[in-house]
């Protein structure tokens, strides 16, 4: 899925970029402005808060240090609005380091402060989806929770997405496309795992359409599988061929895409109407 790319983009916005904002107490240190996202800028209120924020955000490239700095800041300034920025930077740093569980843990800290933050909602949802096994006793509860997070992210995308003031609108829209695509893909994947193939098909299509210029081969392949399960073999083959085009043959996804394509080719051919055998040229002779 595209979450890694989305959060890498976010790190550039809410991590490094945020260091240069809030130049003085009362100025915005929040990536974002109501003119672009519908969200009012977050502001530091005192010189001490601003200086502590700058000291904390300096740890942005070290996930453990960044999380501790965010915790320390939150303890010292329990009412500060910029706590969300610091925890989001820690979340992104853990994502870069490949620590999915820690990314989710910090994402939950963000949601504890701002239940509508779409980046955190999607981060938590994707980790939940990836870590839920069909043998988990609470798999249904986890699935419901995952979908709820992803759906809420879709609902808050245009009102609670934080971006730096002055960010080009087209870049914001590109970021939103990635996040929306990821959210729909999460929902569709959960539905696929629950064998709700028609619902999965609908949301996986939405995931692809949300960022049509950058299709995720995993999502395309999963759509092919959802169609296959519904015996929509021709449509499934079309998607499998797209997945093959988007992948390298030696990769795991590439191998699965080619296996699915080859199976569907046989399925489609086996169901093609057989033409009548031509009559013998002597059949009408006397």
| pLDDT of 134 | 86
| pLDDT of 198 | 98
Residues 166-182: pLDDT tens digits?
667 888 889 899 999 99
| pLDDT of 3 | 55
CB 232 within 8 A of CB 265: no
Rounded to whole angstroms, the Cα distance separating 17 from 8 reads 12
User: What mean pLDDT is predicted for residues 159-164?
Assistant: 76
Give Cβ neighbours of residue 162 (< 8 Å, ≥ 6 apart). Answer: 13, 14, 30, 31, 32, 37, 39, 42, 84, 85, 88, 117, 119
| pLDDT of 35 | 42
User: What mean pLDDT is predicted for residues 214-229?
Assistant: 97
Q: Look at residue 110 and tell me whether its pLDDT is greater than 50.
A: yes
Rounded to whole angstroms, the Cα distance separating 72 from 70 reads 5
Q: Look at residue 197 and tell me whether its pLDDT is greater than 60.
A: yes
| pLDDT of 169 | 82
Tell me the CB-side half-sphere exposure of residue 158, using CA atoms within 13 A.
1
Q: Look at residue 106 and tell me whether its pLDDT is greater than 50.
A: yes
| pLDDT of 228 | 98
Quote the Cα angle for 164-167-171, to 5°. Answer: 120
Rounded to whole angstroms, the Cα distance separating 59 from 23 reads 18
Number of Cβ within 10 Å of residue 88's Cβ equals 31
Residues 123-143: pLDDT tens digits?
999 999 999 988 889 999 999
- Both structure tokens of 122: 């999607």
Angle between helices 118-131 and 83-97 in degrees, nearest 10: 40
**Helix (H) or strand (E) segment spanning residue 47:** helix 47-57
Bridge partners of residue 28, in order along the sequence: 43
Rounded to whole angstroms, the Cα distance separating 180 from 209 reads 10
Q: What is the CATH number of domain 3-166?
A: 1.25.40.10
User: What mean pLDDT is predicted for residues 41-51?
Assistant: 83
Rounded to whole angstroms, the Cα distance separating 180 from 214 reads 12
- Domain extents in the chain: 3-166
Tell me the CB-side half-sphere exposure of residue 131, using CA atoms within 13 A.
15
């Amino acid at each position: 899925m595209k979450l890694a790319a989305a959060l890498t983009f976010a790190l550039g916005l809410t991590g490094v970029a945020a260091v240069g904002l809030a130049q003085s107490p009362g100025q915005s240190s929040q990536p974002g402005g109501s003119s672009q996202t519908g969200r009012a800028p977050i502001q530091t209120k005192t010189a001490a808060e601003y200086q502590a924020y700058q000291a904390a955000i300096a740890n942005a490239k070290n996930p453990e240090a960044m999380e501790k700095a965010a915790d320390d800041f939150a303890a010292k300034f329990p009412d500060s609005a910029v706590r969300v920025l610091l925890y989001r930077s820690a979340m992104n740093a853990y994502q870069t380091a490949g620590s999915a569980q820690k990314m989710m843990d910090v994402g939950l800290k963000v949601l504890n402060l701002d239940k509508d933050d779409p980046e955190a909602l999607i981060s938590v949802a994707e980790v939940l989806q990836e870590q839920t096994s069909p043998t988990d006793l609470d798999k249904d509860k986890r699935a419901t929770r995952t979908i709820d997070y992803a759906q809420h992210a879709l609902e808050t995308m245009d009102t609670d997405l934080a971006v730096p003031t002055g960010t080009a609108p087209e870049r914001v829209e590109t970021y939103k496309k990635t996040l929306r695509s990821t959210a729909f893909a999460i929902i569709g994947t959960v539905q696929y795992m629950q064998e709700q193939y028609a619902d999965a098909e609908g949301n996986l299509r939405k995931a692809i359409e949300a960022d049509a210029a950058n299709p995720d081969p995993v999502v395309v392949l999963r759509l092919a599988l959802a169609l296959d399960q519904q015996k929509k073999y021709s449509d499934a083959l079309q998607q499998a061929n797209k997945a093959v085009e988007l992948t390298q043959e030696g990769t795991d996804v590439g191998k699965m895409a080619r296996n699915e394509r080859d199976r569907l080719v046989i399925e489609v051919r086996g169901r093609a109407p057989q033409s009548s055998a031509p009559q013998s040229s002597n059949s009408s002779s006397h």
